Amino acid sequence: MYKKISWALIPILFVFGSADAADVGSEQEWQIKAEIKQLADNYGYYRDHFMADEYLTIWAEDAIAIDGDRMWRGHDELRTRIPSPDSGRLSMHVMGTSHVEIIDDSRAWGTHYATVYVGEADASREQSEIIKMNGVYLVAKYMDEYILTADGWKISKRDIDRTFTSAD
């Protein structure tokens, strides 16, 4: 009797036990989310420290960044988003809330909140000199799509939603 029931349950368990594309193990889920959060944090750090080469490592080769009516596609265009260290413009990206959803084992999406401060400083500024600023420059939501590449998780698309800004 039990053998008949167990054989009858196997097809049902196989159908209902099959992993959905987004169904990854909890340990893998935490690892993916941590890697993606690191992308968001590195974005701000690399921008703030004029690290163009490192900045490109967080983006897929054919990635797109959108900020209002402006768009950058691919590494060559994305590189232009990093100002020169002698530009006199300094920024500080403070990354906050992050929400990441895993679509499947190679795709995810996420939203990250950022508060950005900017200031102008002479290129000869000493590290300890304090820079005068006029308050928060930007509060935004970075709405991202991610893909898993041979080199790890990368941003494939970023749409910047400028929620609040002091810029004209």
Residue ranges of domains in the chain: 24-165
pLDDT of residue 71: 98
Average pLDDT, the chain: 86
CB-count exposure of residue 129 (10 Å: 0-12, 13-18, 19+): exposed
pLDDT of residue 128: 74
∠ Cα 86 92 95 (to 5°): 145
Cα pseudo-dihedral 159, 116, 42, 155, rounded to 10: 0
Q: What is the average per-residue pLDDT within 30-54?
A: 96
- Confidence (pTM): 0.81
In the chain, the percentage of residues whose pLDDT exceeds 90 is 67
More confident position, 21 or 113: 113
Does domain 24-165 match CATH 3.10.450.50? yes
pLDDT of residue 23: 72
pLDDT of residue 44: 96
Range from 2-16, 66-80, 102-116, 134-148 carrying the lowest mean pLDDT = 2-16
pLDDT of residue 4: 52
Residue 22: pLDDT band with limits 50, 70, 90: low
Q: What is the average per-residue pLDDT within 107-124?
A: 90
Going by DSSP bridges, is the β-strand pair 152-165/59-67 parallel, antiparallel, or unpaired?
Answer: parallel
pLDDT of residue 85: 85
Range from 53-67, 113-127, 135-149 carrying the lowest mean pLDDT = 113-127
First to last CA, the chain: 77
